[in-house]
Amino acid sequence: MRRIEHDITIMGSCFLVYKVSTSLFIKLIASVDFFMKTPILKHVIILLFIKNINKENGNSMKKFIIMVSLSALLFALTGCMLDTNQSEQSITIFSERHYDTDRVLFDLFEAETGIPVNVIDGGADQLINRLENEGEDTSADVLIIADAGRLHRAKSRDLLQSVESDTLFSNIPANYRDIDNYWFGLTKRARVLVYHPERVNGEALSTYEALTAPEFEGRIVTRTSTNIYNQSLMASFIEIMGEELARDFARGLVANFARTPSGNDRDQAKAVVQGIADIAIMNTYYIGRMMHSSDPFEREVADTVEVFFPNQDTTGTHINVSAAGVTKHASNVEGAIQFIEFLSGEEAQSSFANANFEYPVNEAVEPHVLLQSWGDFKPQAINLSVLGEHATKATIIMDEEGWE
């Protein structure tokens, strides 16, 4: 039963690969070892492939007979080989991320290496606390978190280990990995200004700090001070501006809020289109996800708003990363490193970029065409490790200045 459930799960992931990237799909169907482990998947993949090749040619009944015959043959050849090539040592991933793209990539890693991947989902704090409580008994080999600040927290609690990998050093720029190599960025996103072009002149926008001017009173929306994205934004200001100027920004921004902070990033963009506010502070990838949403209103929102990258003539736009680290008590350190190396490679980075609208950390990979349409931008010139170092102070400042 577990074997069947596993196969069905991977079948769904394969279909996503098929839709997202033909090259990844072809690579997956070429993996003989993976087929030996997942015979049901082999049948489905080849059926899909044949169907794709023949979708505009031939007789439907003929195609049906050919596909069924081929499926039966493959089943006969592989039916008794379910577990003969299973790797003896798996890896377990504690992951805060909940995207289908990630599961596709995890399956592809398993296909390439034969190393089974187990995934345990949860919130960042939940996973970090669990890792701490389990200590040496933890099953986790890799921790994936969607914020550099919380990875710093895991490092400071002695839950990660330093890694030496020429592949990771080559694929990931220094400012997107921990200064002591305890974690490595996988994807990045920019925290930008999203505005309604009928009510805001984009050429009049300049910096985050300018949003504190009286002309923006009652026109700004963003998430609460408890949101990690805003905490990391403030932490970056502490690093770049110093505590006093960061405090001035928080005080001035609160004075210009159109409403008490609430909702997620998508809700901020919706508030702009609904006329509640004119400008939202939010992450870039949500615009891409809304543009391809099943919700017609979300698509309308994404089509209506414009994106502006602040501080291009000064300190640069704030960015953050989803990142991964090898746990201190990992039972399969070699497999864990190999896994993170795989996610930093061009193929996986392309999948992150094209399926989830995140910026790749690997500079050899182009962003999605939507992100490219917004143009290049200058990011903040800081190592993202400092986001964790200033996180507590950032939260205190926001609370003291009334950022709810």
Q: In what helix (H) or strand (E) does residue 145 lie, and over which residues does it extend? A: strand 142-145
User: What is the average pLDDT across 89-97?
Assistant: 95
Domain boundaries, the chain: 2-78, 91-187+321-369, 190-318+374-400
With cut-offs at 50, 70 and 90, classify the pLDDT of residue 306: very high
Distance, CA of 116 to CA of 90 (rounded, Å): 5
Report the C-alpha gap between 180 and 177 in whole angstroms. 8
Q: Do domains 91-187+321-369 and 190-318+374-400 have the same CATH topology?
A: yes
For 273, what's the count of Cα atoms within 13 Å in the CB-facing half-sphere? 16
Residue 84 has pLDDT above 70, yes or no: no
H/E stretch holding 280 reads strand 279-283
Task: Give pLDDT, residue 122.
Answer: 94
What pLDDT score was predicted for residue 20? 47
pLDDT recorded at residue 227: 93
Q: Are 107 and 342 in contact (CB under 8 A)?
A: no
pTM flag (> 0.85): no
Residue 319: name the closest of 241, 237, 209, 233 by CA: 233
Mean pLDDT in the chain? 84
Helices of type H across 21-123: 22-29, 32-37, 39-53, 60-78, 100-113
Place of tokens 């509640």: 276
Integer Cα distance of 360 and 23 in angstroms: 18
Residues whose CB is less than 8 angstroms from the CB of residue 327 and which lie 6 or more positions away in sequence, other chains included: 94, 131, 138, 140, 141, 142, 143, 159, 160, 161, 336
pLDDT at 30: 43
Task: Give the type of residue at 136.
Answer: E
Q: What is the pLDDT of residues 129-149, one digit of tens each?
A: 999 999 999 999 999 999 998
Task: Answer for the pair 97, 185: CB distance below 8 angstroms, yes or no.
Answer: no
Which residue from 126, 107, 123, 127 is spatially nearest to 115, judged by alpha carbons? 107
- The tens digit of pLDDT for each residue in 112-132 reads 999 999 999 999 999 999 999
* Banded pLDDT at 88 (limits 50, 70, 90): low
Confidence of residue 356 (pLDDT cuts 50, 70, 90): confident
CATH of domain 190-318+374-400: 3.40.190.10
Of the CA atoms within 13 Å of residue 309, those in its CB half-sphere come to: 21
In tens, the pLDDT along 155-213 reads 999 999 999 999 999 999 999 999 999 999 999 999 999 999 999 999 999 999 999 99
**Cα–Cα dist 278/267, whole Å:** 13
* pLDDT attached to residue 63: 41
- Partner residues linked to 360 by β-bridges: 187
pLDDT digits (tens, 9 = 90+) for 100-111: 889 999 999 999
What per-residue confidence (pLDDT) applies to 361? Answer: 96
More confident residue, 389 or 83: 389
CATH architecture of 91-187+321-369: 3-Layer(aba) Sandwich (3.40)
> What pLDDT shows up at residue 251?
97
Closest CA to 127 of 116, 140, 137, 117: 140
Whether the per-residue pLDDT at 71 is higher than 70: the answer is no
Q: What does residue 122 show for φ and ψ, rounded to 5 degrees?
A: 170, 170
Higher pLDDT pick, 84 / 189: 189
Secondary structure class of 200 (helix, strand, coil): coil
Residues 55, 149: Cα–Cα separation, whole Å: 49
The pLDDT of residue 164? 96
> What pLDDT does 237 receive?
97
Q: Are 50 and 70 in contact (CB under 8 A)?
A: yes
Looking from the CA of 190 toward its CB, the CA atoms found within 13 Å total 26
| 223 half-sphere exposure, CB direction, 13 A CA radius | 18
Which residue stretches of 114-242 are H helix? Answer: 124-134, 148-156, 166-171, 228-241
pLDDT in the model for residue 26: 43
Cα distances (Å, whole numbers) of residue 244 to 108, 233, 248: 48, 15, 6
